[in-house]
A and B are shown apart, each in its own frame.
Chain A
Amino acid sequence: MAAVTTLLTTEGLSRYFGGLRAVDDVSFSLQEGEIRAIIGPNGAGKTTFVSLICGRVLPTSGRIAFGGREISGLPAFKRVGLGIAYTFQITSIFSNLTVFDNVALAVQNAMRRNGSGVRFDEREMTRRVGDALDRVGLSERFDTKAGTLSYGHQRLLEVAMGLALKPKLLILDEPTQGLSDAEIAGFCDLVRDIARDATVLLIEHNMDVVMDLAGRITVMNNGAILSEGTPDEIRADEAVQRAYLGT
């Protein structure tokens, strides 16, 4: 077995909104190559927590380290440069641009980051856009205005944009919300495929998807980590059942 390296750690990470402790003293770590799911009831602080990791929200206190480097104070765009990609919970694509241009924006950034030379290679970019769209099955629609895609396809486009950034860590915030059962099955295959060369952090409500995909599960409640373990451990955990079902 290959040596396991820690990709991401947070120490005492907190974010308060006024009096609300959205994320409260969370210490968390993520190994390279795993698929980790974060679950928890609505308002548990899951989205705020991953937003702290990707830099959309800055912490009130605490530290975040990525690949051994302290990133707590870095702006979001620099964290993308280090390899953290975030796909939005509320679909956030460029509606007025074509599917191609949406993905091209991500590819362009990945290419510039890897220093692909002074002259920009348009052919290479087109090829990579094609790859990313192929993986989510949207390549036929490359010339469509993104805003006119169906909701499910827009979710897939989000994922393609995340993929095209060639991230080390891909954060998916409720990716299957609004997808049909058939689309969800395809999506699970896609995530497994992505996980071959990236670490995946997944917020998800659909328990079938979580149990199917995740190697480990972190359960959040009231801004804190309630429990963490393998799917079987989590299924058997009483505290988790209480948080979900009420006592």
Chain B
Amino acid sequence: MSAGDTMAAHGATRRGLFDKALLLHLAVLAVLFGLQFVIGEYQHLSLARVMVLATYAVGYNILFGYTGLLSLGHAMFFAAGLYGAGIGASQFGLGVQESFIAGVFSGLVLSTVIGLIALRTTGVAFMIVTMMFAQACYLLTLYFGEYTRGDEGIVLKGDIRQMVMFGYPFDLTSPVVRYNIAFGLLAVCVLICLALVRSPTGRVLVAIRENEERAGMLGYDTFRTKLFALVVSGTMSAAAGAAYALLFAYVGASFASIQYSILPLLWVLLGGIGTVLGPVVGTLLMFYLVDYASEYTSAYMLVVGVALLILVVWFPKGLLGTLRERVIAWLP
């Protein structure tokens, strides 16, 4: 048996019928889908919210976890989707699907433009440039208060809460409908992320994270690859933003603030940087941590802070990152 055959056999365990990684991801998604039949109405809503935010985290992780670019301004992409959809619906009378597409498209355009400029910097400068752009976007949402209604925000109501898809009517005020739309979005984004990181392009993203100069000396146009990662990441974040606006019927400037740039970073760190499911796990955990802590104390952010400290000191790779290191090395 030649070396190539051994390696092919090794590679085959990753693919084909017994593709452990794919099966695991499908199983996790199946559990998330099945949960709706055992939980109550309140949980439907909060889980729907978590799944939309987890989509945002999955998008963030493509740039941060796999490509190694730490953005402190992803709120601008989330907000681009949020406002693209919200303004599309409230000012231009677009339907639900059209508004969603408008939001995704806003994110695509914004991330391309920002990428072309911000990717000229690296490291700390990149963090600062993205943060400044996000601040500028935040201030723009306040400045154009005529359209965005500033701090007060836009509440979507009336017809925009109804949609027709594949000939069936859906009522977006229904928790079950919202749950399943949020689930559908998350499932699609998780599978896109999984396919991406296991593709040849995914390998190049990781190579850039590990040693950018070497990746260039292997013939890769690292600028173009980083731009690609940023656009995928920004567009996915915008899709989450657009879904958030349409599902929860509210568009406000607070979603463009620095807090929403930091949150996905924390979710990803908690769940496991550079793992496909890490952002989902992180978002879930953080959400329920805040939820339970706030039942017992008004200082719930202190609990979150302590949790993060423990994490940084003992599990710097996050929950799934640590698991991958110690138990399941094949986790993508």
Contact = CB atoms under 8 A, between A and B. Distances in A.
A113 B219 CA distance: 9
B279 to A, nearest CB: 20
A77 B219 contact: yes
Given A94-B207, A94-B211, A126-B8, A77 B216 contact: yes
Contacts, number: 96
A105 B4 contact: no
B191 to A, nearest CB: 18
B202 to A, nearest CB: 11
Given A94-B211, A126-B4, A126-B11, A120 B218 contact: no
Contacts of A97: 206-207, 210
Contacts of B199: 120
A80 B217 contact: yes
B291 interface: no
Q: Which secondary structure dominates chain A's binding surface? A: helix
A80 B219 contact: yes
Interface in B272-293: none
Contacts of B213: 56, 92
A97 B208 CA distance: 12
A95 interface: yes
Interface string A119-134: 0101101110111011
Interface residues of A, number: 43
Contacts of A54: 217
A177 interface: no
B210 A56 contact: no
A112 to B, nearest CB: 8
A214 interface: no
Interface of B: 2-8, 10-11, 15, 199-200, 203-204, 206-207, 210-211, 213-222
12 contacts: A75-B216, A75-B221, A86-B217, A100-B7, A105-B215, A123-B8, A125-B200, A126-B4, A130-B8, A134-B4, A142-B3, A143-B10
Given A88-B214, A108-B204, A126-B4, 7 more contacts: A56-B213, A78-B221, A88-B217, A93-B211, A97-B210, A105-B220, A130-B3
